Amino acid sequence: MNSADLGRRVGVPSTALFTDQYELTMVQAALKAGTADRRSVFEAFTRRLPEGRRYGVVAGIGRVLDAVENFHFDDEMLTFLREQNVVDGPTLAWLADYRFSGDIWGYPEGEVYFPGSPILRVEGSFAECVLLETVILSILNHDSAIAAAASRMSAAAGGRGLIEMGARRTHELSAVASARAAYIGGFDTTSDLAAGFRYNIPTVGTSAHAFTLLHDTERDAFRAQVDSLGRGTTLLVDTYDVAEAVRTAVEVAGTELGAVRIDSGDLLLVAHRVRQQLDELGATGTKIVVTSDLDEYAIASLAAAPVDAYGVGTQLVTGSGHPTCSMVYKLVARAPSTDPAEPLRPVAKKSLGAKTSVGGRKWAARRLDENGVAEAEVIGTGPVPAELADRQLLAELVRGGEVIAREPLDAARERHIAARSGLPMSAMQLSRGEPVIPTEYM
């Protein structure tokens, strides 16, 4: 594998303060109590899928690995913690030497998940594991929400092209993460150059309405764009009159015009009219791209329209109504002392509400029916049944503090396509419903 396949390892600051204060104060108290070094197992999971969703999509694993690797406290951070009296001197000394030295297992990026799935399992001392809670959850909750929305849009698009173009609708760093997650979920390209630079995602872009308005006539604008970018460019045709713009576009670029973009109006009606007009003008190979506040439902409604690609922004980068997956990070097992020979004991919070957890270090497998279609997500804490041994989902990601499972983003994208295709057909329905397969505990 060429190292370039992994994208550019852009330098990032330490992730150590991407955390909540109580994680550091817990470390301080555990150090004083002598319990900080007890072997512990934490798991990230969600108790339920967002309302109406039938499956979740794992995204952000690669970013989690980067975050864990970059989680260390520099002098300036330690000075801040001391000046703000966040923790005491002995804890500051412990933090100064912090490097995660444990093990991490998780669902591979692009895999699907369901309620209770142990998406990430973090093992090590209590202190070193508890510090990672917030940064892990912030990445997984955001990226998996975007990837799930992207997957639904990809399913609705039915093989037509998808362009991620939401950078202007979210935080600038979230935009890069969103483009990455969208690519895993099935999008083909992004308009965000930072995402293209960092993750080798194909980038696209031509012009906005401002470029047309800059020129004295629409013809002048089209001529300038074609002269610069070639006949294969995409011309935006809804600044003034769509029919007139399409006619002018073909006159300027010829029948070799690459595509036209429609960004407003009744997209279903306008797309049909534009397709008919292009064909009558001889531009039968010219494609139609539509944008304008699309989501998976709008994309599905255009299935019968002669559209070749969709550009999606706001709804994608906000998770199409579900900007988080509500994942949690819970201690599920710990040793009764610091003796490394002590066995792990299951632990779990008891709650009268909906915040119950299942204790124990878990494995997960997906049981298939006789046709090779998923029929249940099986989760257990004991021995893995022989019939599920080759269907286990957790992969080793970090061993002894060293990342061992980095992979190209295209591998995650391909994995998602395979995982989604292995679900029952009802998983592709956009109507509200329960998870497409049940979660069973053993």
Mean pLDDT value across residues 3-23: 78
- Residue 417 forms part of a structural domain: yes
Instruction: Report the pLDDT value the prediction gives residue 13, as an integer from 0 to 100.
Output: 77
Based on the fold, state whether residues 20 and 133 are members of the same structural domain: yes
Residues β-bridged to residue 104:
122, 398
Q: What is the pTM of this model?
A: 0.94
Q: Are residues 139 and 210 in the same domain?
A: no
The CATH number assigned to the domain holding 214 equals: 3.20.20.70
- Answer whether 423's CB lies under 8 Å from 368's CB: no
Residue 165 lies in a domain: no
* Helix or strand holding residue 374 (H, E): strand 374-380
- Sign of the CA dihedral 397, 401, 406, 412? positive
Task: Say if residue 405 is in the same domain as residue 334.
Answer: yes
Predicted confidence at residue 10, as pLDDT, reads 57
Say whether pLDDT at 171 is over 90: yes
Same domain, 21 and 139: yes
Instruction: State the Cα–Cα distance between residues 242 and 261, nearest whole angstrom.
Output: 10
pLDDT tens-digit profile of 250-302? 999 999 999 999 999 999 999 999 999 999 999 999 999 999 999 999 999 99
pLDDT for residue 2 is more than 60: no
One domain, residues 298 and 365: no
Boundary (domain end) residue, out of 249, 279, 307: 307
Q: How confident is the model at residue 356 (pLDDT cuts 50, 70, 90)?
A: confident
Q: Flag whether 193 is in a domain.
A: no
Q: 267 is in which domain, residue-wise?
A: 206-307
What span, in angstroms and rounded, lies between the C-alpha atoms of 257 and 246? Answer: 10
Q: Which of 245, 279, 307 is the last residue of a domain?
A: 307
Residue type at 369 in one-letter notation: D
The yes-or-no verdict on residue 240 having pLDDT over 70 is yes
Whether 314 is in a domain gets the answer no
Residue 2 in any domain: the answer is no
Q: What is the mean pLDDT of the chain?
A: 95
Q: pLDDT tens digits, residue range 120-146? A: 999 999 999 999 999 999 999 999 999
Number of domains in the chain: 2
Instruction: Locate 60 and state its tokens.
Output: 């952000």
Task: Give the model's pLDDT for residue 9.
Answer: 58
Residues 416 and 392 in one domain: yes
Q: Which distant-in-sequence residues (6+ apart) come within 8 Å of 93 by Cβ?
A: none
Among the candidates 307, 340, 367, a domain finishes at: 307
Alpha-carbon torsion (182, 184, 186, 192), positive or negative: positive
Does a structural domain hold residue 384? yes
CATH number for 329: 3.20.140.10
Q: What is the strand order of the sheet 234-236 is part of?
A: 189-190, 161-164, 309-312, 287-290, 259-262, 234-236
